[in-house]
Amino acid sequence: MEESERRQALAAFLRTRRARLSQAEVGLPARSRHRTPGLRREDVAELANIGVSWYTLLEQGKDVHPSKPVLESIAQALRLTHAEEKYLFLLAGHTLPVKAPPEEEEVPQNYGAWWMC
């Protein structure tokens, strides 16, 4: 896939993922009505903690190169599945970072007695 095709595929993917979510689903207050379904670009940028103009450039297929942390923030904001997140990273020219499984916490055996000390 050519670079420009990859950027356009990334842009289209982001738009479709944004369109499937509502402001209520992600905990944002309902704002004035808008013409397109789903979240606004401003909503995604706010949730991902990135600039609106920068996110807009991504959705327009411009030649920008998001870092892995930015992609992770966008994936979280758009509530992507693992497969969708992997595809997002692929389209952005990155590999998905290996995430360690969450460590299981063990409850100490003397847990019930700690407050008596």
Residue with tokens 């909503």: 43
Which of the 8 DSSP states describes residue 114? G
Cα end-to-end distance, the chain, whole Å: 65
| Tens of pLDDT, residues 100-113 | 555 655 555 554 55
* Torsion of the alpha carbons at 32, 38, 40 and 45, rounded to the nearest 10: 130
Q: How far apart are CA 62 and CA 39, in angstroms?
A: 21
| Tens of pLDDT, residues 7-63 | 999 999 999 999 998 877 787 777 666 667 788 899 999 999 999 999 999 999 999
Q: Are 44 and 78 in contact (CB under 8 A)?
A: yes
